[in-house]
């Protein structure tokens, strides 16, 4: 059954619920084909709302009984709602009892109650609870939950739900039960249950406050040896939130459960987090350093939601960034604080900014652009976006920056902590808005820039689009004065033709010719244009603007090569040091791309750039992780964003050509880097050793690329050897990737061997698929490979991780291969969007976004892409999810 043509929901239409639900008593008889759900609610009318019918949300449920205070009652169905018009008048509590069934085994959408393998899981955010029972499925209705689970004991020995286990025992017919009570009121989206054959790693901890807690990580038997890192990350999260924010774990028991079928990364259900297994399972043999890092962030993220999301939740889904932007900010800070050394903090910051610029900036410039607090949606699942999450986190970060108070609190950490304390003091236990959050941060810091500029600052919540800051410098030698004029603008986005000026904190410094820093300050730009002056200078300085990426904006400054080289060498701000290197590379790539007549073979990198890269690589003080970031060219997606008309294959060809030159020109340096950064001793996923592995991985890839040009067989041979001998997945996978990306003859045998070694490790097989679907295109060879991979017995369209590893790796992460002049990539894309939409609309809608930026494409791609999108849009039965994406893509706005 497909839902009807639902209509757009507006933020301005918010109204309080007409009823409150005080308590919910749920009883589940779990059965994959037909699960019976008895839902007894204690409800009452909301006295603030005019008396009206009760409308409960429900989706794909079979209703068998409705009782009010134990008596039968009249009801009707309207769209997807159960409507009760004859409820008792007055404000007294009444009991509503609803009995329904659902079919978890048929639930391929993975929203609501579903089976994966032989176990049951739930996913209720945003609107999945209505697929379990009829309910007021909205986050401002907070209730107390009691949950009784009944199931076959041998098939489902473990029965979990939120809160505390209060009773368990056996029943007739080989069945058993467990009863759970959640001591906290919660919105329905935080409900969860899990049932199946699972085992747990357990850890007892005592908090700073002296309380005892039980931490558990549940996985399938056989995966226990991959849970140590997740448990360590969880313990670190508990300690960090206490230390930095004074927030302690409020539950006796905190559980994480891994499942291999999951639409997203993980879910913060109260006391029972459910995770995509990708963000739980790791050991050195199966997971890379990146996986280890991601697990740390995601475990932290979900844990931090316990306060920012669960204790204080969202009034409505337009406020999603209230919990997501804030919690991403918290998980970013957590990872940085764990890294401790300044250089590792900088590396984390660079990685986060790279995500923002390659994923969020394009979103903000495309048809799905929306403010971090959107004003309307058709399908809320489409708004779990990089804008709400990552840009949302930047907006929280700016609030911290803007409550800084001089030398005693230069970064604003203490002021921000005060703001958070006030936020909890005011709102703990309730469902609030983004306005409530900013108000608390500002009120706790009345003398801050944030408090002074609050109404204007809040434009970050209401205006979409990435602001551009144009900076122009001029030096007056006679007076020794440097002026820097900063002007801001923001392009129109759908529905927002004109933008008002933003509040933009700009951290800046001036570097003198000899490399010393002559000034540094924080300027808050509020006008369309402002000029800053610096006096007492001997010579024209080099401005280092937007240090640490102090605001989510695009900075235009016409840097000369000399200036960029000076920043790359001397800037005290590691972020801008990296940025200078990226600008040097980008300028060259843009120049080559724009010279239409220039053949790839004639694109020659200048000695100056190569020497600069050599000195970074050979630098005695810079650490390995930073070098790896600095020597990686800007991504194809990032380059595409800088162009008005995009020919993805041209960008790809240019990037590959420059990479090959860097490989050849720095050959001896790459050899040195590879040999000098070997890690000996036991594997540890810490920032220092993972940085060294990242650099040796890049070096090996470059040496294999150089070998392709020179005909050398030694380095590919060494890569194969390293692939075979590697003691951890990072080194093994990097060696395999070096062979595959360089197009080595040895790649095929290595791939085959890799599959044989890891055939029972689903997450590793995902990597195997992704590597091939994302490999460098050579003469259009990738699409046939992708189609071939989809016939592999291990491929499945139903498992989101697997579908993503092949289809998304090609359509979303391999622009050089996907954007074909013959349109075959787009035809493939439209087929897969349509096919996936019938199985899992959330996954389909994400894939649909691969063509968001079609309007920028050069012909013939542009027309072919539009045709492919139109083909999807013409499908009559599309889900709301996919329909919203393709309709917006085609709109003329």
The residue count for binding Zn ion (CB under 5 A) is 2
Q: Cα-flanking dihedrals φ and ψ of residue 607, to 5°?
A: -60, -35
Q: Closest distance between ligand PHE and the C-beta of residue 328, in Å?
A: 8
Copy the structure tokens of residue 342: 């300044």
Q: Per rule CB under 6 A, is residue 384 in the interface with ligand PHE?
A: yes
The beta strand positions in 129-187, using DSSP E, are: 142-152, 158-161, 164-170, 175-181, 186-187
Is residue 46 classed as helix, strand or coil in its secondary structure? Answer: coil
Closer to ligand PHE by Cβ: residue 334 or 826: 334
Please state, in angstroms and rounded to a whole number, the distance separating the CA atoms of residues 280 and 259: 9
Is residue 10 classed as helix, strand or coil in its secondary structure? Answer: strand
User: Which helix (H) or strand (E) is 195 found in, with range?
Assistant: strand 193-196
Residue 687's binding partner among Zn ion, ligand PHE, none (Cβ under 5 to 8 angstroms by kind) is: none
Q: Closest distance between Zn ion and the C-beta of residue 441, in Å?
A: 19
DSSP track, 229-256: HHHHHHHHHHHHHHHHH-----SSEEEE
Binding mask 68-87 for ligand PHE (x = CB under 6 A): --------------------
Residue 384's binding partner among ligand PHE, Zn ion, none (Cβ under 5 to 8 angstroms by kind) is: ligand PHE
Residue 579's binding partner among Zn ion, ligand PHE, none (Cβ under 5 to 8 angstroms by kind) is: none
Q: Mark the segment that binds ligand PHE (CB under 6 A) among 3-11, 166-174, 259-267, 618-626.
A: 259-267
Residue 382's binding partner among Zn ion, ligand PHE, none (Cβ under 5 to 8 angstroms by kind) is: none
Q: Indicate which residue of 125, 127, 268, 302 is catalytic.
A: 302
Q: Per rule CB under 6 A, is residue 267 in the interface with ligand PHE?
A: yes
Closer to Zn ion by Cβ: residue 147 or 238: 238
Residue 478 CA, distance from chain mean position:
51
Q: Per rule CB under 6 A, is residue 664 in the interface with ligand PHE?
A: no
Closer to ligand PHE by Cβ: residue 431 or 700: 431
Please state, in angstroms and rounded to a whole number, the distance separating the CA atoms of residues 92 and 100: 26
Closer to Zn ion by Cβ: residue 352 or 573: 352
Residue 631's binding partner among Zn ion, ligand PHE, none (Cβ under 5 to 8 angstroms by kind) is: none
Closer to Zn ion by Cβ: residue 313 or 582: 313
Q: Mind spelling out the 3-state secondary structure of 674-735?
A: HHHCCCCCCCCCCHHHHHHHHHHHHHHHHHHHHHHHHCCCHHHHHHHHHHHHCCCHHHHHHH
Torsion of Cα atoms, 196 then 201 then 204 then 205, to 10°: -110
Closer to ligand PHE by Cβ: residue 268 or 628: 268
Would residue 302 show up in a list of annotated catalytic residues for this protein? yes
Please work out, in degrees rounded to the nearest 5, the angle formed at the alpha carbon of residue 280 by the alpha carbons of 125 and 763: 100
User: Which of 32, 417, 76, 404 is CA-nearest to residue 244?
Assistant: 417
Q: Mark the segment that binds ligand PHE (CB under 6 A) among 261-269, 416-424, 458-466, 676-684.
A: 261-269
Q: Within positions 88 to 147, which residues make up the interface with ligand PHE, using CB under 6 A?
A: 123, 125-126
Q: Per rule CB under 6 A, is residue 353 in the interface with ligand PHE?
A: no
Please state, in angstroms and rounded to a whole number, the distance separating the CA atoms of residues 724 and 754: 9
Residue carrying the six token digits 């998304």: 808
Q: Closest distance between Zn ion and the C-beta of residue 125, in Å?
A: 9
Q: Mark the segment that binds ligand PHE (CB under 6 A) among 215-223, 260-268, 500-508, 712-720.
A: 260-268
Q: Per rule CB under 6 A, is residue 266 in the interface with ligand PHE?
A: yes
Q: Within positions 298 to 327, which residues make up the interface with Zn ion, using CB under 5 A?
A: 324, 327
Closer to Zn ion by Cβ: residue 180 or 245: 245
Closer to ligand PHE by Cβ: residue 267 or 551: 267
Q: Closest distance between ligand PHE and the C-beta of residue 191, in Å?
A: 13
Q: Closest distance between ligand PHE and the C-beta of residue 26, in Å?
A: 20
Closer to ligand PHE by Cβ: residue 301 or 888: 301
Closer to ligand PHE by Cβ: residue 128 or 548: 128
Q: Within positions 297 to 316, which residues make up the interface with ligand PHE, using CB under 6 A?
A: 301-302, 305
User: Which helix (H) or strand (E) is 473 found in, with range?
Assistant: strand 468-476
Q: State how beta strands 142-152 and 158-161 pair.
A: unpaired
Q: Closest distance between ligand PHE and the C-beta of residue 299, in Å?
A: 11
Among 296, 324, 647, 731, binds ligand PHE (CB under 6 A): 324
Among 54, 238, 264, 699, binds ligand PHE (CB under 6 A): 264
Please state, in angstroms and rounded to a whole number, the distance separating the CA atoms of residues 294 and 417: 25
Residue 463 CA, distance from chain mean position:
21
Residue 402's binding partner among ligand PHE, Zn ion, none (Cβ under 5 to 8 angstroms by kind) is: none
Please state, in angstroms and rounded to a whole number, the distance separating the CA atoms of residues 101 and 60: 9
Q: Closest distance between ligand PHE and the C-beta of residue 456, in Å?
A: 29
Q: State how beta strands 266-267 and 272-276 pair.
A: antiparallel
Closer to Zn ion by Cβ: residue 178 or 393: 393
Burial (0-12, 13-18, 19+ Cβ within 10 Å), 630:
buried
Residue 127's binding partner among ligand PHE, Zn ion, none (Cβ under 5 to 8 angstroms by kind) is: none
What b/e sequence results for 424-449 when a residue is b if at least 16 CB atoms lie within 10 Å of its CB, and e otherwise?
A: bebbeeebbbbebbbbbbbbbbeebb
Please state, in angstroms and rounded to a whole number, the distance separating the CA atoms of residues 177 and 175: 7
Q: Per rule CB under 6 A, is residue 377 in the interface with ligand PHE?
A: no
Q: State how beta strands 94-102 and 35-45 pair.
A: antiparallel
User: Which helix (H) or strand (E) is 824 found in, with range?
Assistant: helix 824-839
Closer to ligand PHE by Cβ: residue 230 or 542: 230
Is residue 113 classed as helix, strand or coil in its secondary structure? Answer: strand
Q: Within positions 807 to 836, which residues make up the interface with ligand PHE, using CB under 6 A?
A: none
Q: Closest distance between ligand PHE and the C-beta of residue 339, in Å?
A: 22
Please state, in angstroms and rounded to a whole number, the distance separating the CA atoms of residues 88 and 736: 69
Q: Closest distance between ligand PHE and the C-beta of residue 313, in Å?
A: 11
Please state, in angstroms and rounded to a whole number, the distance separating the CA atoms of residues 883 and 319: 23
Closer to ligand PHE by Cβ: residue 380 or 735: 380
Q: Closest distance between Zn ion and the C-beta of residue 301, in Å?
A: 5
Residue 264's binding partner among Zn ion, ligand PHE, none (Cβ under 5 to 8 angstroms by kind) is: ligand PHE
Q: Closest distance between ligand PHE and the C-beta of residue 238, in Å?
A: 17
Q: Per rule CB under 6 A, is residue 801 in the interface with ligand PHE?
A: no
Q: Closest distance between ligand PHE and the C-beta of residue 77, in Å?
A: 27
Residue 125's binding partner among ligand PHE, Zn ion, none (Cβ under 5 to 8 angstroms by kind) is: ligand PHE
List residues bridging with 290 in a β-sheet.
Answer: none
Q: Closest distance between ligand PHE and the C-beta of residue 102, in Å?
A: 18
Please state, in angstroms and rounded to a whole number, the distance separating the CA atoms of residues 310 and 328: 15
Copy the structure tokens of residue 141: 């209705």
Q: Within positions 499 to 538, which residues make up the interface with ligand PHE, using CB under 6 A?
A: none
Residues 321/373, Cβ–Cβ less than 8 Å:
yes
Residue 266's binding partner among ligand PHE, Zn ion, none (Cβ under 5 to 8 angstroms by kind) is: ligand PHE
**CB under 8 A, 24+ apart: contacts of 869-873:** 869/830, 871/830, 872/830, 872/833, 872/834, 872/848
Q: Cα-flanking dihedrals φ and ψ of residue 419, to 5°?
A: -65, -40
Q: Mark the segment that binds ligand PHE (CB under 6 A) among 266-274, 537-545, 621-629, 796-804.
A: 266-274
DSSP state of 807: I
Which residues are tagged catalytic?
A: 302
What residues line the site for Zn ion (CB under 5 A)? 324, 327
What residues line the site for ligand PHE (CB under 6 A)? 123, 125-126, 264, 266-268, 301-302, 305, 324, 384
């Amino acid at each position: 059954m497909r839902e009807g043509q639902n209509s757009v929901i507006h933020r301005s239409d918010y109204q309080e619920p007409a009823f409150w639900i005080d308590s919910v008593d749920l009883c589940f008889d779990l059965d994959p084909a037909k699960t019976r759900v008895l839902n007894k609610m204690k409800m009452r009318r909301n006295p603030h709302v005019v008396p009206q019918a009760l409308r409960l949300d429900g989706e794909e449920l079979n209703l068998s009984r409705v009782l009010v205070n134990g008596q039968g009652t009249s009801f009707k169905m309207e769209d997807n709602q159960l409507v009760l018009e004859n409820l008792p008048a007055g404000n007294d509590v009444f009991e509503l009892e609803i009995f329904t069934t659902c079919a978890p085994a048929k639930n391929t959408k993975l929203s609501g109650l579903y089976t994966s393998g032989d176990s049951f899981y739930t996913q209720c955010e945003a609107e999945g609870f209505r697929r379990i029972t009829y309910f007021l499925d909205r986050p401002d209705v907070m209730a107390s939950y009691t949950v009784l689970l009944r199931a076959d004991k041998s098939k489902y020995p473990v029965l979990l739900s939120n809160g505390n286990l209060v009773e368990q025992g056996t029943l007739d017919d080989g069945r058993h039960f467990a009863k759970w009570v959640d001591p906290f009121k919660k919105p329905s989206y935080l409900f969860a249950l899990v049932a199946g054959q699972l085992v747990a790693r357990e850890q007892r901890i005592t908090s700073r406050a002296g309380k005892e807690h039980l931490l558990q990580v549940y996985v399938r038997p056989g995966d226990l040896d991959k849970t140590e890192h997740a448990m360590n990350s969880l313990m670190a999260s508990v300690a960090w939130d206490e230390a930095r924010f004074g927030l302690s774990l409020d539950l006796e028991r905190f559980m994480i459960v891994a499942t291999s079928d999951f639409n997203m990364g993980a879910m913060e259900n109260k006391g029972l987090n459910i995770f995509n297994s990708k963000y739980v399972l790791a050991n050195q043999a199966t997971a890379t350093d990146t996986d280890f890092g991601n697990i740390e962030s995601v475990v932290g993220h979900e844990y931090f939601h316990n306060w920012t999301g669960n204790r204080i939740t969202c009034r409505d889904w337009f406020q999603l960034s209230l919990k997501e932007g804030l919690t991403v900010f918290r998980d970013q800070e957590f990872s940085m604080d764990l890294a401790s050394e300044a250089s590792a903090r900088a590396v984390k910051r660079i990685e986060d900014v790279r995500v923002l610029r390659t994923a969020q900036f394009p979103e903000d410039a495309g048809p799905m652009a929306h403010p971090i607090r959107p004003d309307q949606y058709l399908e809320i699942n489409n708004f779990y976006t990089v804008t709400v999450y990552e840009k949302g986190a930047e907006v929280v970060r700016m609030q911290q920056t803007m409550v800084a108070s001089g030398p005693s609190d230069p970064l604003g950490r203490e002021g921000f902590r005060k703001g958070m304390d006030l936020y909890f003091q005011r709102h703990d236990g309730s469902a609030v808005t983004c306005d409530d959050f900013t108000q608390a941060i500002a009120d706790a810091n009345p003398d801050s820039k944030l408090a002074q500029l609050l109404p204007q600052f809040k434009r970050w919540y209401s205006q979409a689009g990435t602001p551009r800051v144009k900076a122009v410098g001029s030096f007056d030698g006679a007076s020794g004065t440097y002026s820097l004029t900063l002007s801001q603008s923001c392009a129109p986005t759908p529905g927002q033709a004109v933008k008002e000026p933003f509040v933009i904190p700009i951290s800046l410094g001036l570097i003198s010719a000899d490399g010393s820093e002559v000034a540094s300050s924080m300027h808050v730009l509020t006008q369309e244009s402002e000029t800053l002056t610096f006096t007492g200078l001997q010579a024209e300085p080099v401005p280092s603007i937007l240090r640490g990426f102090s605001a989510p904006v695009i900075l235009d400054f016409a840097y000369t090569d000399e200036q960029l080289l000076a920043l790359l060498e001397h800037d005290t701000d590691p972020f801008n040091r990296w940025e200078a290197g990226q600008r040097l590379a980008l300028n060259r790539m843009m120049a080559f791309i724009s010279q239409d007549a220039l053949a790839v073979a004639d694109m020659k990198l200048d000695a100056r750039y190569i020497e600069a890269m050599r000195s970074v690589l050979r630098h005695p003080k810079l650490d390995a992780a930073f070098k790896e970031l600095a020597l990686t060219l800007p991504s194809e997606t990032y380059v595409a964003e800088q162009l008005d008309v995009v020919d993805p294959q041209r960008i790809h060809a240019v990037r590959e050509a420059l990479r090959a030159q860097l490989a050849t020109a720095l050959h001896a340096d790459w050899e040195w880097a590879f040999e000098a950064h070997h890690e000996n001793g036991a594997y540890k996923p810490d920032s220092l050793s993972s940085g060294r592995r990242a650099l040796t991985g890049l070096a090996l890839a470059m040496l294999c690329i150089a070998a392709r040009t020179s005909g050398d067989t030694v380095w590919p041979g060494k890569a194969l050897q390293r692939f075979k001998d590697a003691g951890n997945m990072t080194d093994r996978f990097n060696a395999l990737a070096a062979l595959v990306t360089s197009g080595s003859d040895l790649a095929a045998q290595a791939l085959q061997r890799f599959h044989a070694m890891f055939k029972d490790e689903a997450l590793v097989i995902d990597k195997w698929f992704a590597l091939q679907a994302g490999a460098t295109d050579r003469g259009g060879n990738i699409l046939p490979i992708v189609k071939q991979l989809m016939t592999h017995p291990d491929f499945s369209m139903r498992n989101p991780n697997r579908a993503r590893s092949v289809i998304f790796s090609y359509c979303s992460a391999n622009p050089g291969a996907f954007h074909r002049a013959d349109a075959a990539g787009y035809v493939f894309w439209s087929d897969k969007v349509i096919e996936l939409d019938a199985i899992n609309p959330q996954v389909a809608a994400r894939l649909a976004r691969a063509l968001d930026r079609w309007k920028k494409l050069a012909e013939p791609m542009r027309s072919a892409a539009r045709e492919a999108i139109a083909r999807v849009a013409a499908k009559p039965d599309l889900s709301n999810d996919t329909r919203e994406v393709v309709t917006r893509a085609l709109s003329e706005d």
